[in-house]
Structure 1
């Protein structure tokens, strides 16, 4: 998990330091697994958390294009061999339809390493709210997270 974050941060910093004009960062041939994936894992619900984290990281580090390794074929594809959608396809579509604009900096004194927080703008088509929060937690006991400032909500994760 942290290796991907370090790589995206590195690419983002290179463009900031060496380019006078913002250059697009494209992340190609990516997925929630490698080597063809693992049946029941990389094509299932659990892999969705890794994919959602990757979408959040890509937005945070201003990756303009995130290309999936495989739409069809392999255990990490967006659709299976019978053309049934895998969970990552639904996450990709929801993310594309709901999220746009900048990712806001989320700061905290005690964010555990297993927790990733992303705060996004919501597309203009969804007028009921203008922000969205993405919480991805990997392992550990149930805890309560207070998201304060402009929003006064408590979320259990």
Structure 2
């Protein structure tokens, strides 16, 4: 299901659904089944529901998306379509740091907990500061096995 670019709310149909928010601040509900959710541009809230869900982040974003029900060792965070290093030509994968700090190397991704969320932060330019962040509600554990780089 592909939204039209406004601030949309979309619900999966109980099977293995694909929901794409496009532009706008969308809310996507996968429901039952192994769903694929991509909020697109905008500050989105993504609910995978039951099943083995995949949350796709395919562009650099200066807004924060929220994954509301991530399940460690079940769901996947797909970062494979993002060019993680703005300083090099081509398409570089994210360098996974886990729960460690950024080192100042362009293309790093790390996880930390703050407030009510677990955060996944990406540093595209090597300044050791987050250029993109994704929030995960309820402090889920996020390990390398949860991420597609």
Q: TM-score, with normalisation over the residues of structure 1?
A: 0.29
Q: Which has the higher helix share?
A: 1
Larger radius of gyration: 1
Instruction: Give TM-score, length-normalised by structure 2.
Output: 0.31
Structure with the larger strand share: 2
